[in-house]
């Protein structure tokens, strides 16, 4: 088999590539160590704990239905209960201020008989057959105006709370819909990236074989290696994006679409 003889330029090019690769490895190893330290601190693990990175073999699920994600989010997301509680409290305040509007209104009722006399004692003898009944209502006008204003304020506050609740719920629903759409779209990117890695591997292997046989120079080999590395980086990025969106959906719905079960927090 014919062996490829490296020229001095090709040898220097490969040596330069080796130096760059070593520097890149040092940088990535430093980044990995920082990330591992942050992870052990977050998980309250002993410092120096050996953390190994394992790349998932694939995506968690092939597709997530938007309607299903919305259903479990509406059932489990705390924002729905929080906003409903705020509306109930605002309604209770409206009812309270409405009742307080007339709480201090006084009603006076008097019943008597009519008689006239020169002396006090004679006024109570044989009173006339004319009954007198008087009914009066006393309402403190100043306080009544304040309470009426409080009632109107409570009504306006209820409208504000209801509007804010609708906006909050709508924002959460838009976020889950967007995240589900992103996940389903990223699946297609992941599949294309996976196929690109397979093709890049074949191209690099063929370039390496042709280089050994002296049919290609080092530039062609170098180009094939760069494309293979880029394809692998794109694959990892696509895989990372899929899993990140998946866990975000889990967080918002409290449902595991991989195992098809609700997520329960153990106390």
**Is the Cβ–Cβ distance between 202 and 74 less than 8 Å?**
no
**Is the Cβ–Cβ distance between 70 and 175 less than 8 Å?**
no
Average pLDDT over residues 124-129: 56
pLDDT at 133: 54
Q: Which residue has the higher pLDDT, 50 or 30?
A: 30
pLDDT at 72: 93
pLDDT at 216: 79
Name the percent of the chain lying above pLDDT 90. 34
Strand spans (E) along the chain: 106-113, 131-138, 255-256, 261-262
pLDDT score of 29 more than 60: yes
Cα–Cα distance, 151 to 63 (Å, whole number): 51
Q: Which residue has the higher pLDDT, 197 or 100?
A: 197
Average pLDDT, the chain: 82
Domain ranges of the chain: 105-138
pLDDT score of 120 more than 60: no
pLDDT at 215: 81
pLDDT at 108: 56
Nearest 5°: phi and psi at 99? -70, -30
pTM: 0.70
From 176, 188, 169, 172, select the one nearest 245 (Cα to Cα): 176
**Is the Cβ–Cβ distance between 197 and 232 less than 8 Å?**
yes
pLDDT at 102: 60
Confidence of residue 241 (pLDDT cuts 50, 70, 90): very high
pLDDT score of 49 more than 90: no
Average pLDDT over residues 162-179: 90
């Amino acid at each position: 088999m014919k062996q490829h003889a490296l020229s001095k330029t090709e040898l220097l090019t490969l040596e330069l590539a080796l130096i760059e690769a070593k520097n890149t490895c040092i940088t990535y190893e430093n980044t990995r160590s920082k990330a591992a330290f942050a992870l052990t601190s977050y998980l309250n693990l002993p410092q120096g704990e050996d953390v190994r990175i394992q790349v998932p073999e694939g995506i968690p699920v092939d597709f997530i239905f938007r309607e299903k994600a919305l259903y479990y989010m509406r059932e489990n997301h705390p924002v729905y209960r929080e906003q409903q509680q705020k509306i109930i409290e605002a309604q209770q305040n409206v009812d309270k201020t409405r009742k307080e509007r007339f709480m201090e209104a006084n009603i006076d009722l008097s019943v008597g008989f009519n008689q006239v006399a020169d002396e006090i004692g004679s006024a109570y003898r044989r009173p006339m057959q004319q009954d007198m009944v008087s009914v009066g209502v006393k309402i403190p006008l100043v306080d009544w105006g304040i309470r009426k204003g409080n009632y109107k304020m409570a009504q306006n506050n209820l409208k504000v709370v209801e509007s804010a609740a609708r906006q909050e719920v709508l924002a959460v629903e838009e976020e889950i819909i967007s995240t589900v759409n992103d996940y389903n779209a990223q699946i297609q990117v992941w599949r294309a990236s996976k196929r690109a890695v397979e093709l890049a591997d074949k191209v690099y292997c063929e370039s390496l074989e042709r280089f050994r046989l002296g049919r290609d120079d080092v530039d062609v080999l170098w180009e094939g290696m760069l494309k293979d590395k880029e394809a692998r980086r794109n694959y990892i990025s696509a895989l990372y994006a899929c899993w990140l969106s998946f866990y975000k959906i889990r967080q918002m719905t409290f449902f595991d679409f991989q195992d098809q079960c609700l997520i329960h927090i153990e106390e």
